[in-house]
């Protein structure tokens, strides 16, 4: 994976023609480290996951510098967490159809878990970053029945 993402355009799905380091496709690939991370590239960019069916979710975990990772940088700015109940939501879904769950700032490197005040039913979840150079290695979403570490 040499160089940056092959396209900075928004997209969706595993078959979308974007590849390389820091692409949005890396956000939920199960791999940690700089070569498998997402960097927004501009303030206000977002990344997220869509569920096959509506899911009850209660929190999320993001990472930077997981096991075997090289980097302890790019955690600045704030992050807004939003969800929607729109069927087949994607990067083209109108901003008014997303509900904010709040914002957070990252406190350190490694894994950070955020539990929502109340579990919500959602068809998709996204994170908007204020810093163009922020970096997330992996995004995991949890249901109330999931066991967290």
**Distance from C-alpha of 7 to C-alpha of 13, rounded to nearest angstrom:** 14
140: nearest Cα among 52, 32, 39, 67: 32
Please tell me the pTM assigned to this model: 0.82
Q: How confident is the model at residue 119 (pLDDT cuts 50, 70, 90)?
A: very high
Average of per-residue pLDDT across 8-26: 64
**Distance from C-alpha of 123 to C-alpha of 84, rounded to nearest angstrom:** 6
State yes or no: pLDDT of 149 exceeds 60.
no
**Distance from C-alpha of 102 to C-alpha of 83, rounded to nearest angstrom:** 10
**Least confident segment among 27-31, 50-54, 70-74:** 70-74
**Least confident segment among 24-38, 62-76, 99-113:** 62-76
Task: Report the pLDDT value the prediction gives residue 30, as an integer from 0 to 100.
Answer: 84
């Amino acid at each position: 994976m040499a160089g940056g993402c092959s396209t900075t355009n928004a997209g969706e799905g595993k078959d979308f023609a974007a590849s390389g380091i820091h692409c949005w496709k890396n956000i939920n690939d199960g791999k940690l480290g700089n070569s498998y991370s997402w960097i927004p590239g501009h303030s206000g960019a977002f990344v997220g996951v869509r569920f096959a069916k509506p899911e009850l979710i209660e929190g999320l975990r993001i990472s930077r510098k997981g096991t075997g990772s090289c980097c302890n940088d790019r955690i600045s700015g704030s992050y807004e967490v939003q969800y929607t109940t729109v069927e087949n939501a994607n990067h083209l879904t109108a901003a008014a159809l997303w509900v904010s769950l709040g914002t957070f700032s990252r406190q350190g490197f490694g894994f950070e878990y955020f539990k929502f005040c109340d579990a919500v039913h959602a068809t998709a979840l996204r994170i908007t970053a204020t810093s163009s150079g922020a970096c997330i290695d992996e995004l995991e979403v949890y249901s109330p029945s999931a066991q967290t570490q």
